[in-house]
Structures are given as C-alpha cells and as structure tokens.
Amino acid sequence: MSEPQPIDAADLEVHPEKLKVTDQLAIEIVGMNKWYGQFHVLRDIDLTVYKGERIVVCGPSGSGKSTLIRCINRLEEHQKGKIVVDGVELTSDLKNIDKVRSEVGMVFQHFNLFPHLTILENCTLAPIWVRKTPKKEAEEVAMHFLRKVKIPEQAAKYPGQLSGGQQQRVAIARSLCMKPKIMLFDEPTSALDPEMIKEVLDTMIQLAEEGMTMICVTHEMGFAQAVANRVIFMDQGQIVEQNAPKEFFNNPQSERTKLFLSQILGH
Amino acid sequence: MADLTFVRTQMLPPQEAPGAAVGAVRWMRENLFDSWLNSVLTLVSGFAVVWIVVHIYPWFAQSVWNASSLQECRAIIQERFGEGAHGACFAVLRERWQQYLFGFYPADLYWRPTLAFFLMLAALAPVLFSGLPRRMLWFSAAYPGLAYWLLWGGSIFTPIAIYAGFVVAVLAHRAVAGRWGGLAAMIVAVAALLIWWFYLAGPVARTLAAPGFFSLRPVQSNQFGGFTLSLVIGVTGIAFSLPLGILLALGRRSDMFFVKTICVGFIEFIRGVPLITLLLVASFLLNIFLPPGTNFDIILRVIIMVTLFASAYMAETIRGGLAALPRGQYEAADALGLDYWKSMRLIIMPQALKISIPGIVNNFIGLFKDTTLVAIIALLDPLGLTTAIRADSNWNGIIWELYGFVALIFFLFCYSMSQYSQYLERKLATDHR
C-alpha cells in the first residue's frame, strides 16, 4: 500500500481574486506569554491579524501553535501581555470572554459535536441560548449553513451516524450559525481519512472566498499555498518565521524552518 | 491439470432448514446442551428447580386466609390437610394489611394517603415520560404541597404560604437584578426565601387559616407508618437528593476554592458516617441544638437526613459521569459562548446524567430500602410494624408470611425503578456505537 498522498495546491479549486485582505484590525496580540506551571509554552508572541486574512500556523508538535489559537478565545489563559479580539480585550472578565467567544468560531480536531443532540439541534443551540434567536429563525439559519456545507439531508440525524468528514462540516456549520467574525481551526483535518480531507478543505476555501478571517493550525501545506495570505512557523513557543506562502515555501530564511519543511514535504 | 470450468444448468430452490438448526430445539442445543459438562449442569439445575418448587408449593397451596391467630391457622391446616401438614398463614396479612399500608393513620381517613398515592403517579408521569404534554409539569410542581396537605391535614394555606416563598424570592430577585447584578440578586433571593419561610410564612398561614376554609383534620407524624411512611421518606428523598447531588458534584469540580472545599467536606463527612448515626442524631440530638419549644417534625428531620445522606452518594455517582465526558465537550460549549450554567444544563449534564443512570438508580433503590432503617428510631415503617405484629400474642411466631410480604412490595417498587432506568437508557442511546 502506498502512503496517502498529501493534497496538492493544484488539486484545490480556489478563486484567488475573491481572497481580499482589509486594513481593519481583527486580532491584536502584544507581548503575550503563557506558562503551564514552570513550562514556558508561549514566549513573547506578537501578532496582528487584519480582517479577511487567512493565516496558516504550522510547526512541530509541542511548538505551542494550538495553545496560541486557543488563547484567542480564552480556552487557555495567558499570563502576560495583551490580546484584543475585535476591539475587546481578553481579561478575567467573564462578560468579555463570553462576548469574544460568541464572535469567534472554533473548529476542533475531534469535531466535538454534541452527541445527545441532532445535527440541527447542534447548530441551533448556541444561537437560541446565547444570541436569543427565536427557534424558528435559528432553524432556518442552521439549514442555510447545512446546505452550504452540503449536508442538509442529515439534519435530523445524530452525530454518531455521520462520517468524520461530514461531522467536521457540521462542526463548521455549527460555528457559522453564530455568524462569527473570526474562525479558528485547530487541526481540522488531522483526524480524517484522506478522502474526507478534501471535502473539509473545500468548505474552508469557500469560507475564505466569502471574506472570513481565518487562523488555521494545519499540516495541509497544499491548503496553505493555495489559500493562506500568511504562513506562520512556530517552534518552542515562539514565532520563528512568518511570510507570504510563496516566499515561505520557496525561500525559507531560518534553518529551523528549512528543516521542518524538508521533513513535512519529504523527499 | 484438472478441469476448472463449471456452469450451473439448474438453479436450486430454497429448502427447509433441518429441525436441529431452528427454533426451540436449536436454542436448547446452543444454550443448555452444547457440551457434556453443560448437559450435566442443566440436569442438576433442573432437578434443583423442581425440588424447590415441589417443597414450596404446598406451603402456598395449603395456606389459610381466614383465621384470627396463628394457633387457629395451624389448627385449620392440620384439620384440612392432615397431621404434620405445613402451610402459610396469610390470615395475618388479611387482618393487618391496612396497617402495613397506612400504619396508625386514622381508619376513616385512609382515602387521603390513597388519593395522595394515585396523584403522585399522575405527578410523576410527565417527569418520567417526555412524550406527555409539558403543561402537566405544573401539576407535578404543585403536587408536593398538595400531598403535604392531604397527608398531614390542617389548612391548605400552610403549603400555599410555603410556595409563596418562591414568589417572594422571584420578586426579590427581579427587584435587585437590574441594579446590582446576578450574584447579588441570587443572594438576596435566597435570603428573602429563608426570611419568609422562617419568620413570615407561619403567621401568614395562621392568619389565613383562621376562618377554617379548606381545612382537613390534622394527622400527627407519629400516626404515620407502613408503606405510606416508606414512600413519603423515599420519594421525597429521591426527589431532592438528585438536584442536591448534581450541585455537590459540580461544586466538587469547581475552580472556586471555598465552594470546592465545602462540597468535598460535606460529601466526605456524610459518606463517612453510617446512616443510622445520622438518623439517631435527627431523632435525639437535633432537639438539643434547636431553640427550646420548637417542634421540628420527626418525619421532616428524617427526610432531611436521608436526603443529605443520599445526595453525598449521588454527587459521587454524577462526578463519575462528569469525569467520563471528553474535555472537548466542555471546550466546544465554551467556544460557542455558552456561560457556565447554560453549558452545564444543555451540554454537560444531559450527557453526564445519561452515563450515570445505572448508578443513580442504584442510589435511588438503596435509598428507598434504607427507609426501613427508621425502625431504629421507633418510627413504624413496614419492618417496625412487622416487629410490632409479631409481638402480638395472636401472631407470635409468624415470620415468613410477614417478611415475605414486605419483601414482595419493596421488590415491586425497586424492580419498577430498574425497569424504568433501562427504558430510559434505551431511549437516550443516541451515540450509535
């Protein structure tokens, strides 16, 4: 049996003319540090994200890339520095945290759908209980996004009855139902079979073409080349290199990046 | 090389399966006689079953339902079935069954606990079966007050005054919530509730009750007994121990140091003490600590102790369910912007409780059977009554009939709970594993 082939940038159908970056601030991270006990996971992170950007974060495991994006919606707490998301600074103020979380969608590696609720209920829960949307309206919005991710016919089923790729697309639809301004993707395709990766990436491309601000931790370098406007390489809790994808892949500056790219792209 | 080609010229019609491969014969072959050891075990077990039935059957067949004492029973059995015949003396049940159901409740008022029991079934129905109209839950909410009024009698304004406490709490919450925020409103609401209950509810109820409308003849707690008492303690304990257990389980997993410490301390203390000790405290010691002259009802004290005891176990059962949930469920709920209570109520608890159903029902059944321990503090539960009946010179020496009857009734209740829990597990199985 041959190794599963990584998805090449050429396999993905992207309309580059639709990908636009604005000059409005979406996220501002200044001098952010985080420790797990004595372990310094994130060191002096500075990152400014503009609306419409598609940023791919890559790096070896344990480099802090997941922790970084989990700090943006406060699933992880930072101990030093400043994170401002859409004009709201993340502090221990619970009101601010809930406000940021309802504006920032997140897609997880293991989907994390709610197994006791149907697909439709998964999608309508947060709009109904957080946004106070009337149930009927929430259901219409949910069906709209389920059609968008191409699984409206599964609405009445439970997550356990769907394939991995379908579940991940539901997870994306669930986030979109909150009409978020920013989407975070934490290795969205790492738990999927190769033939399902593409259907999820296609959904993400569609999202990017609609102008969504996206930060994506992924090893899909094809996706990074085709969609990202910026690639960030992290190692040992630090941003080692960031550049436009073309420069990043063709002309990496740091030795650490070169080594990582040679390992991940192989051959 | 051999010829490997083959062409079928005639299709085969389906045939009957051989007798040994279907139905009862096949089942027996597979389950009872699939090896010589199992065949031997089957025969031995079959013999044991037959032997037991043969020996027990006459005890039922030669039973007596009409007699006024054990001696009379025995005389009738000897007369009918000959010297040395043994049989059950169910006459004692015929004479005392009302006592088993109602204790020393006044006989002309038996309709009140009976009505309360059937109304309880109606109140439980919408809680147990989600298919029923949700509006019926209003009756379920009103039922505790109604049952209190029916069982203990007195004025209906007593339970109404207690219910009014919740209205007072809600009003207090509303008055404060706008100005000082959620936490302050919560504290004020609880304070208002307690002030109302301890200082105002009594006078208000007495004033309203004075004209004597809607009053039933009062029945004292020491007249309660039998299965009425078991059900009052058991059902109330079950109803309150689950929510209390949920709060304790959440508290034990809380990040807030004081909440966590209090919950852990409570759970470990209550779990570490025998229930009998708590009941004795409820019965004897509590009066010492209460202001002189307060009459704190003994059944209420027992219910509180049983509830606290069961809730500590419940908390640990539910904590097991909480721990079994993947972290991702908490994170997904957080990431969608649900606050703590909403994520607990909508995401975490429905799943954690589902996982914990067998353990929760285990606790319920244990609690219900533990109600018999109140016999220790001289309350006449079914076992206490049995002792009393056996002390009667007419029925001295009777054992099997009485304890068998009590066991049978308890079994019916506990088995129904077990069956319901299995129905619920099947209904909630949505994970399609």
CB contact (8 A) between residue B430 and residue A116 = yes
Nearest CA in chain B to A99: B337
Please check whether residue A116 touches B, CB under 8 A. Answer: yes
Q: In chain B, whose CA is at the least distance from the CA of A100?
A: B337
Which residues of A fall within a CB distance of 8 Å from B334? Answer: 73, 75, 101
Q: How far from B286 is each of A162, B234, B278, B289, CA to CA, in Å?
A: 58, 21, 10, 5
If one counts every other C-beta atom within 10 angstroms of the C-beta of residue B145, the result is 16
Measured between alpha carbons, how far is A191 from B20 in angstroms, rounded to an integer?
48
Ranges for all domains in chain B classified under CATH 1.10.3720.10: 219-428
Nearest CA distance, B147 vs chain A (angstrom): 35
**pLDDT cut 90: percent of chain A above it:** 78
Chain-chain contact of A98 with B350 (C-beta, under 8 angstroms): no
The answer to whether A26 contacts chain B (CB < 8 Å) is: no
CA A252 to chain B, closest CA, distance in angstroms equals 34
Taking CB atoms and an 8 Å cut-off, how many pairs form between chains A and B?
70
- In the predicted model, residues of chain B with pLDDT beneath 50 are none
- Interface residue of B183, B331, B336 to substitute, partner A, most A CBs within 10 Å: B336
A253 close to B (CB below 8 A): no
- What pLDDT sits at residue B156? 86
Q: Which helix (DSSP H) or strand (DSSP E) does residue B31 occupy?
A: helix B23-31
Judge whether A232 is closer than 8 Å to chain B, CB to CB.
Answer: no
Shortest Cα distance from A129 to chain B (angstroms)?
7
Q: B339 to chain A nearest CA, in Å?
A: 7
Give me the pLDDT at residue A5, please: 62
B174-198 tens-digit pLDDT? 888 777 777 788 888 889 888 888 8
Q: Do B334 and A101 touch (CB under 8 A)?
A: yes
Q: Are A215 and A182 in contact (CB under 8 A)?
A: yes
- Selecting from A104, A129, A160 the residue whose C-beta is nearest the C-beta of B346 gives A129
- pLDDT band at residue A1 under the 50/70/90 scheme: very low
CATH 3.40.50.620 describes domain B219-428: no
Distance from the Cα of A161 to chain B's closest Cα (Å) equals 7
Number of alpha carbons in the 13 Å side-chain half-sphere of residue A106: 27
Chain B interface includes A112 (CB < 8 A): yes
pLDDT (tens digit per residue) in A38-95:
999 999 999 999 999 999 999 998 899 999 999 999 999 999 999 999 999 998 888 8
What residues of B are in contact with residue A178 (Cβ under 8 Å)?
A: 336-337
State the pLDDT at residue A228. Answer: 92
Q: Is A114 on the interface with B (CB under 8 A)?
A: yes
Q: In this complex, do A116 and B326 lie within 8 Å of one another by their Cβ atoms? A: no
Contact A182, A85 (CB under 8 A): yes
Residue at B32: amino acid letter: L
The pTM of this model reads 0.86
- Put simply, whether A98 touches B (Cβ < 8 Å) is yes
Q: What is the dihedral of CA B113, B118, B122, B127, to 10 degrees?
A: 70
DSSP string spanning chain A? -PPPPPPPGGGS---GGG----SSEEEEEEEEEEEETTEEEEEEEEEEEETT-EEEEE-STTSSHHHHHHHHTTSS--SEEEEEETTEE-SS-HHHHHHHHHHEEEE-TT----TTS-HHHHHHHHHHHTS---HHHHHHHHHHHHHHTT-GGGTTS-GGGS-HHHHHHHHHHHHHTT--SEEEEESTTTTS-HHHHHHHHHHHHHHHHTT-EEEEE-S-HHHHHHH-SEEEEEETTEEEEEE-HHHHHHS--SHHHHHHHHHHH--
> What pLDDT is stored for residue B39 in this prediction?
92
Q: H or E stretch including B215? A: strand B215-216
Structure confidence at residue B207 (pLDDT): 82
The pLDDT of residue B126? 92
Shortest distance between the Cα of B317 and any Cα of chain A, in A, equals: 20
CA distance, residue A133 to nearest chain B CA (Å): 14
Contacts of B342 in chain A (CB under 8 A): 129-130
B331·A108 Cβ contact <8 A: yes
Tell me the chain B residues in contact with residue A112 when contact means C-beta distances shorter than 8 Å: 326, 328-329, 331-332
In this prediction, residue A2 carries a pLDDT of 46
The pLDDT assigned to B211 comes to 74
A236 touches chain B (CB under 8 A): no
Residue A266 C-alpha, separation from nearest chain B C-alpha, in angstroms? 32
